[in-house]
């Protein structure tokens, strides 16, 4: 993903909404998944999506406070 600090506020908010939707869909897939490989793949993807969501949310919150994001 692009560097969060170079995103506009609208781009940042849009990406956050997309990540939240992706996470919701992955949770639904996990509930319906069968097989260890499918479950592991979904769990890995969920972890990646959650990490990106946390990063972007910190960036958005930092911008709201006019502070640089904490890394």
Contact 15, 7 (CB under 8 A): yes
Distance CA 56, CA 2 (A): 11
> What pLDDT score does 67 carry?
64
> What pLDDT score does 16 carry?
96
> What pLDDT score does 60 carry?
93
pLDDT at 12 over 60: yes
In terms of C-beta distances under 8 Å and separation of at least 24 residues, what long-range contacts does 46-51 make, across chains too? Answer: 49/19, 49/22, 49/23, 50/23
pLDDT at 1 over 60: no
pLDDT digits (tens, 9 = 90+) for 17-61: 999 999 999 998 888 877 888 888 999 999 999 999 999 999 999
pLDDT band at 2 (very low <50, low <70, confident <90, very high): low
């Amino acid at each position: 993903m692009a560097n969060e600090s170079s995103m506009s506020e609208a781009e940042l908010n849009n990406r956050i909404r997309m990540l939240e939707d992706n996470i919701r869909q992955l949770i639904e897939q996990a509930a319906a998944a069968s097989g260890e490989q499918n479950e592991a793949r979904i769990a890995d993807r969920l972890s990646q999506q959650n990490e990106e969501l946390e990063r972007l949310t910190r960036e958005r919150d930092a911008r709201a406070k006019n502070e640089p994001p904490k890394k």
